[in-house]
Amino acid sequence: MPKMTDAVLDQLFRTARSHNAWRPEPVNPSDLEALYDLMKMGPTSANCSPARLVFVTSPEGKARLIPHMLESNRVKTETAPVTVILAYDTQFYDRIPELFPHMPSARDWFAHDAQVARDTALRNGSLQGGYLMLAARALGLDVGPMSGFDAEGVNAAFFPDGRFAVNFICNLGYGDPAGLFERSPRLSFADACQLV
């Protein structure tokens, strides 16, 4: 497989930034479908694909969500063209016979224990959230992931039957560079990695 060009690596990682301010241009719904179509191709355990997404774009949807955001995240959520609630399906294993057809019995790896299922859903749903952000950047969108919200409030407002549970929230759109601050440092290879 050939390496990506420096321009692509820059767009996905090196010059990409998490945005807090947004230009008013809307995001086309077809771009959200394209985004999901890329995201869903990333690997998950037994192809379990537990992530479930709510693309909040309407004033009514924002009005339901914003009261559950921390104060510091409310304006950026209100002004973002799209806010994605990344949730996970607590009963994702029921789709495994469809998604992992060569071994439908893999459902039983997860269905037997609620803690195993939750850990698997959270871990793999988080992976899918990372894929979503990279897919968004690949499509020319900017992202602003957030964990500052009242999870119980979001779940009550958007997932009242309890089957889905929020993992994290991410704003999407076209970032306003005026809202950026100097990029924060990252740990070096020596600080973060070991070779054994």
Greatest pairwise CA separation for the chain in angstroms: 53
What whole-number distance in Å separates Cα of residue 158 and Cα of residue 62? 11
Q: Over the stretch 101-130, which tens digit does the pLDDT of each residue have?
A: 999 999 999 999 999 999 999 999 999 999
CA atoms within 13 A on the CB side of 82: 24
Mean pLDDT, rounded, for 119-143 = 98
- By DSSP bridging, strand 82-89 and strand 142-146 are unpaired
Structure confidence at residue 51 (pLDDT): 98
Average pLDDT of the residues of the chain: 97
Structure confidence at residue 75 (pLDDT): 97
Sequence-separated (6 or more) residues with CB below 8 Å from residue 40? 49, 128
CB 70 within 8 A of CB 53: no
CB 55 within 8 A of CB 111: no
Domain extent listing, the chain:
25-176
- Collapsed DSSP state (helix, strand, coil) of residue 87: strand
CATH of the structural domain 25-176, one choice from 1.10.443.10, 3.40.109.10, 3.30.530.20, 2.60.120.10: 3.40.109.10
Structure confidence at residue 135 (pLDDT): 98
Q: Over the stretch 54-92, which tens digit does the pLDDT of each residue have?
A: 999 999 999 999 999 999 999 999 999 999 999 999 999
Structure confidence at residue 41 (pLDDT): 98
pLDDT tier at 10, thresholds 50, 70, 90? very high
Looking at residue 150, its amino acid is D
| Percent of residues, the chain, with pLDDT higher than 90 | 98
